[in-house]
Amino acid sequence: MESNGIIDIEFWRLCAAYLFVVILLIIVKWRGITREKQIMLATVRMTVQLILAGYVLTYIFENPHPLLSLGFLCAMALFSIHNIFKQVSHTLNKKIKRMVILSMLSGPMAALFYFNVVVIHFTPWYEPRYFIPIAGMIVGNAMTGVTLALKNLHDGISGNREKVEAMLMLGATPAKAVKKYVDAAFDSAVLPTLNNMLGMGIIFLPGMMTGQIMSGISPLIAIEYQIAILIGILGSVSITVVLFIMLSFRAFFTKNAQLSI
Amino acid sequence: MIFRLENIKYKGILNIDDLQIPAYMVTCLTGESGAGKTSLLRLLNRMDDPDSGLIYYQDQLLDEFNPIELRRKVTMLSQAPFTLPGTIEENLQIGLELTEREKKDKEELVKALETVQLQKSLDESAENLSGGEKQRLALARLLLLNSEVYLLDEPTSALDEEAELKVMGRFLEKVKREKGTVIMITHSKQLADMCAEERIVLKKAKESDY
């Protein structure tokens, strides 16, 4: 069975893939590791979510409309913000939450529109076949970046309370007293993207490129897209994280330049 | 009087009806642990705000100062002074850098080290210093800031008695020459006897005071 140059996996063969899950279940049962529930949940959620995504995307692709593309983008952004809040275990104060929302709504969007309009240059601008997958990569990576930045900024400042306060006592501005931890947080957020770029093409072929190659597109075109998207992701992560850090470090201080965590 | 406190209440730790602290003098702050000595210095340095009451610095309400500007005049040395990775010179200059002032030349840095009796060269690493040496480095860093008031929270806790008296003697002499004021927490009776011109003894606040 072939359509559009790629094999359509037959239903029973797709079901056969779940054998791997069964093997995993047998292993954890045998080793006495209590993870069955989570494995089942992850498998079921993955299956259901992807089936839904398949139908939703098919519908959107057949009925392209600017509002549908933008709606999808909004949903992704909101979901990613929710995810950031969930992943950070300590309680966040309101100011910091606001900064997460603000930076996630502006950084990735700016990167996305520049990328779509200038780099890939597809028309119409909301063409969902391009717009949605690219948005997913840009927003998703910014989300990971902000999560890391938030965790590291919080741990850096709260773990070095005494040092930060000792500097404030001398008359340092909050910005100077936490510069080291702000820089470290930025670094930790951008590092995974940079490491990813270092291993690119040698250690692994990224999902997007693999998909394009399997669907019959020349590797030379696939790498064009891959190069562009990697740089786009780097830009999106950097802009979003910088914005987030610059906005949020102040939230660790009161208006009287006292530490408030 | 450089500081005046009226009806200060702070977190059930401090309850001060009226307290005046003189200018150009060394005031020693003593009292059992938990009496709120550090809390009092932190209020003067604006690291915390009182729950109620008024604090005046040179007849002006503390609230009316920009907190960062105030701390550059009324500077506090934390109980746990910090050292950064790098040389002794960098560790001395960082105080000036953090407070947005011009760096000082090496001559002055060496003089500050002499005052606190730290016989080390400027390009030695600061991280290998002992606890007592780090404390003296922090005192030297503080001296370079030329503040009006120095709030010292047990500045010599890691020094032995002899060194303590020597170092603080020279430090206070230098500050007084420059018309500075010192308010110092110390547990050392000798040190207090030697240098206190004024004393404040804090008592643990009782429940009934609130």
Residue B193 forms part of a structural domain: yes
Q: B180: which 2 tokens? A: 């500075």
Yes or no: say if A103 and A240 are a contact pair by the CB < 8 Å rule: yes
Inform me whether the pLDDT recorded for A75 exceeds 60: yes
B interface with A, Cβ–Cβ below 8 Å:
45-49, 67-69, 71-72, 75-78, 80-82, 95, 97-100, 142, 145, 151
Residue B82 lies in domain: 24-46+67-209
Inform me whether the pLDDT recorded for B204 exceeds 90: no
- Cα angle vertex A198, ends A197, A199, to 5°? 95
Is residue A36 domain-shared with residue A71, that is, in the same domain?
no
The pTM of this model reads 0.86
Instruction: Using pLDDT thresholds of 50, 70 and 90, give the confidence band for residue B209.
Output: low
Residue A260 forms part of a structural domain: no
Residue A194 lies in domain: 65-252
Inform me whether the pLDDT recorded for B119 exceeds 70: yes
Instruction: Using pLDDT thresholds of 50, 70 and 90, give the confidence band for residue A206.
Output: confident
Inform me whether the pLDDT recorded for A91 exceeds 80: no
Yes or no: say if A73 and A106 are a contact pair by the CB < 8 Å rule: no
Q: Is A161 on the interface with B (CB under 8 A)?
A: no
Is residue A120 domain-shared with residue A243, that is, in the same domain?
yes
Distance CA A68, CA A74 (A): 10
Residue A222 forms part of a structural domain: yes
Question: Is-cis flag, bond preceding A124, omega within 30?
Answer: yes
Closest by CA to A233, choosing from A85, A115, A125, is A115
Q: Which residues are within 8 A (CB) of A45 and not within 5 positions of it... i.e. 6 or more apart?
A: none
At B55 the three-state DSSP class reads strand
Inform me whether the pLDDT recorded for A73 exceeds 50: yes
Instruction: Using pLDDT thresholds of 50, 70 and 90, give the confidence band for residue A4.
Output: low
ipTM score of complex: 0.94
Residue A214 forms part of a structural domain: yes
Inform me whether the pLDDT recorded for A5 exceeds 80: no
Of B49, B99, B145, the CB nearest to A256: B49
Beta-carbon separation of B82 and A167 below 8 A? yes
**What backbone torsions phi and psi does residue B99 show, to the nearest 5 degrees?**
-100, 20
E-only strand ranges, chain B: 3-10, 14-21, 26-31, 52-57, 60-61, 74-77, 149-153, 181-185, 198-202
Report how many domains make up chain B. Answer: 1
How close is the nearest chain B Cα to the Cα of A189, in Å? 23
Distance CA A4, CA A103 (A): 40
Q: Is A97 on the interface with B (CB under 8 A)?
A: no
Beta-carbon separation of A162 and B68 below 8 A? no
Distance CA A232, CA B134 (A): 47
Residue A258 forms part of a structural domain: no
Q: What is the per-residue pLDDT for B210?
A: 52
How close is the nearest chain A Cα to the Cα of B71, in Å? 5
Is residue A167 domain-shared with residue A195, that is, in the same domain?
yes
Is residue A55 domain-shared with residue A139, that is, in the same domain?
no
Question: What Cα–Cα distance (Å) separates residue B152 from each residue in A158, B81, B126?
Answer: 24, 11, 21
Decide which of A63, A87, A111 is a domain's last residue: A63
Q: Convert the pLDDT of each residue in B32-46 to its tens digit.
A: 988 999 999 999 999
How close is the nearest chain A Cα to the Cα of B94, in Å? 9
Which chain B residue has the Cα nearest residue A170? B75
Beta-carbon separation of B67 and A257 below 8 A? yes
Of A163, A171, A257, the CB nearest to B99: A171
- List CB contacts (< 8 A) between A169 and chain B: 45, 47, 71, 75-78, 151
Kindly state the average pLDDT of the residues A239-259. Answer: 94
**A201-210, B79-88, B134-143: lowest mean pLDDT where?**
A201-210
Q: What is the per-residue pLDDT for A93?
A: 85
- Residues B52-71 as b/e (b if ≥16 CB within 10 A, e otherwise) read ebebbbeeeebeebebbebb
Q: What is the per-residue pLDDT for A254?
A: 93
Suggest the residue from A160, A168, A170 to mutate for an interface test with chain B (most B CBs closer than 10 A). A170
Beta-carbon separation of B82 and A163 below 8 A? yes
Is residue A141 domain-shared with residue A238, that is, in the same domain?
yes
Is residue A69 domain-shared with residue A176, that is, in the same domain?
yes
With 0-12 / 13-18 / 19 or more C-beta atoms within 10 angstroms meaning exposed / middle / buried, residue B6 is middle
Yes or no: say if A79 and A101 are a contact pair by the CB < 8 Å rule: no
Kindly state the average pLDDT of the residues A191-216. Answer: 88
Residue A259 forms part of a structural domain: no
**A65-69, A139-143, A163-167, B30-34: lowest mean pLDDT where?**
B30-34
Beta-carbon separation of B98 and A163 below 8 A? no
Distance CA B56, CA A111 (A): 51
- List CB contacts (< 8 A) between A163 and chain B: 82
Residue B59 forms part of a structural domain: no
Residue A233 forms part of a structural domain: yes
Distance CA A63, CA A72 (A): 13
Kindly state the average pLDDT of the residues A67-83. Answer: 95
Decide which of A44, A63, A82 is a domain's last residue: A63
Q: What is the per-residue pLDDT for A1?
A: 42
Query: Crossing angle, helix A94-114 and helix A128-159, to 10 degrees?
Result: 140
Is residue A110 domain-shared with residue A184, that is, in the same domain?
yes
Q: B187: which 2 tokens? A: 């547990």
Residue B55 forms part of a structural domain: no
How close is the nearest chain B Cα to the Cα of A233, in Å? 34
Residue B136 forms part of a structural domain: yes
Pairing of strands B3-10, B52-57: antiparallel
Residue A261 forms part of a structural domain: no
Q: What is the per-residue pLDDT for B28?
A: 97
Yes or no: say if B150 and B139 are a contact pair by the CB < 8 Å rule: no
Is residue A3 domain-shared with residue A78, that is, in the same domain?
no
**What backbone torsions phi and psi does residue B3 show, to the nearest 5 degrees?**
-125, 140
Kindly state the average pLDDT of the residues B12-29. Answer: 95
Suggest the residue from B38, B40, B43, B47 to mutate for an interface test with chain A (most A CBs closer than 10 A). B47
Residue B8 forms part of a structural domain: no
End-to-end Cα spacing for chain A: 61
Is residue A75 domain-shared with residue A147, that is, in the same domain?
yes
Neighbours of A133 (CB within 10 A): 15
Report how many domains make up chain A. Answer: 2
CATH number for B131: 3.40.50.300
Is residue A17 domain-shared with residue A92, that is, in the same domain?
no
Decide which of A28, A63, A98 is a domain's last residue: A63
Q: Is A258 on the interface with B (CB under 8 A)?
A: yes
Question: What Cα–Cα distance (Å) separates residue A16 from each residue in A23, A39, A40?
Answer: 12, 17, 16
DSSP string for A175-234: HHHTHHHHHHHHHHHHHHHHHHHHHBTTTB--HHHHHHHHTT--HHHHHHHHHHHHHHHH
Q: What is the largest CA-CA distance in chain A?
A: 74
Is residue A55 domain-shared with residue A71, that is, in the same domain?
no
Beta-carbon separation of B67 and A162 below 8 A? no
Residue A174 forms part of a structural domain: yes
